Structure 1
Amino acid sequence: MGRGKIVIRRIDDATSRQVTFSKRRNGLLKKAKELAILCDAQVGVAVFSSTGRLYEFSNTSMKSVIDRYTASKEEQHLITSSSAEVKAWQRETTSLRQQLHNLQENHRQLIGQDLSGLSVKDLQNIESQLEISLCSVRMKKDQLLIEEIQELHRKGKLIQQDNIELYKKVHDTKGMNDIDRSSIPYNFNIASEQLCPDKYYASHNKMQMNLKVGDLQS
């Protein structure tokens, strides 16, 4: 009859547990020594009993074994981390390459290329994108035109003010702080009128009408 399989579990009896520990400890240290001799391996074994006593074996020195073990674990950790980082970068590169391909394809379709194979719905979506883009371009253009007109008006006012100050200096007359714009010679206002042509033509027509009325009254 064959020998039954021994169940590995904690030995409850303290004396039996101590005897088993001594036997197996000696066997373990013996096997470690044989492994170091037979295979030319660097071996280090450390065992602590339940009472805290240390038993160890090393064919070189325990410190050198521990130092080598620590360095090996750190190197292995770096290799694992580097490998994971490389895989993450590879996934990111693949994703970016796909995004670039999609953008290039969308750009070609927006300029009327590579339209074969598209459904009516796809073409309608492209048309909607173009209409939205065109609307944005027009709004931006109108905004820039308004800003340019406002800037011209601002410059016109500055030139008008400079003309008034110049007129004051030339005539050196008291009370010119409240000078009326209509009393300034035509040449001093010409720059402002050139910047605001509508006002210029309106004032010019009004002056002609006043001259005609004066001729009739005379």
Structure 2
Amino acid sequence: MRILLVEDDAMIGDAVRTSLRQDGYAVEWVRDGRAAEAALSAEHFDLVLLDLGLPDKDGIAVLQSLRQRKQTIPVIVITARDGVGERIKGLDAGADDYVVKPFDMDELGARIRSALRRSSGHAEPEIEVMGVRLNPATREVTRDGRPVMLSAREYAVVEALMLRPGAILSRAQLEERMYAWGEEVESNTVEVHIHGARRKLGSDFIQNVRGVGYFVPKPGAKT
């Protein structure tokens, strides 16, 4: 999962990025509103963490512009503006959640997982496809009740596919979910991690449409 972090405070930005990367997210960090809009126009992100007091363009203006373009990406506001009026303004502008600084990283992580579940249409905390069960909160994966240890990249691929069973994701789409903007991507990285996931979860779990991409079958589908 790729997250755009928009935060002008160097200490907070570095701490949040480090923590989220340790949790397996690909994080792109920008420090002003104009850079945020450029990133959102050029790249795919699964979620935005948005400060409000930004240089060049205020966070509320960035959020309003995003919603005016009909982009439904989840946005969690992270800000020191703790007044009730400010919270109402942020939520009315289109924020999915509002977190006041200073915040606990474990709580922020839970709010991120909740927003991602809602955006993918999964209200339940766990996802199950073909006997494979994934818990985004704990990042635990089981197959037929037995725990399976996936690498961070393998997990990113499996999570992206399980969130949209039956949908074919291209190699480029999977790379977007594994790497932050500008990170170097090896030419065969997707194939390597899919091979590793298949070895652990079963050769029939992740399927390939040659020249198009990869998918996991919908629950109940014939394979």
TM superposition score category, shorter chain reference: under 0.3
TM-score normalised by length of structure 2: 0.19
Structure with higher helix content: 1
- Give the structure, 1 or 2, with the largest relative contact order (CA under 8 Å, sep 6 or more): 2
Instruction: Tell me the TM-score normalized by structure 1.
Output: 0.19
Instruction: Select the structure of larger CA radius of gyration.
Output: 1
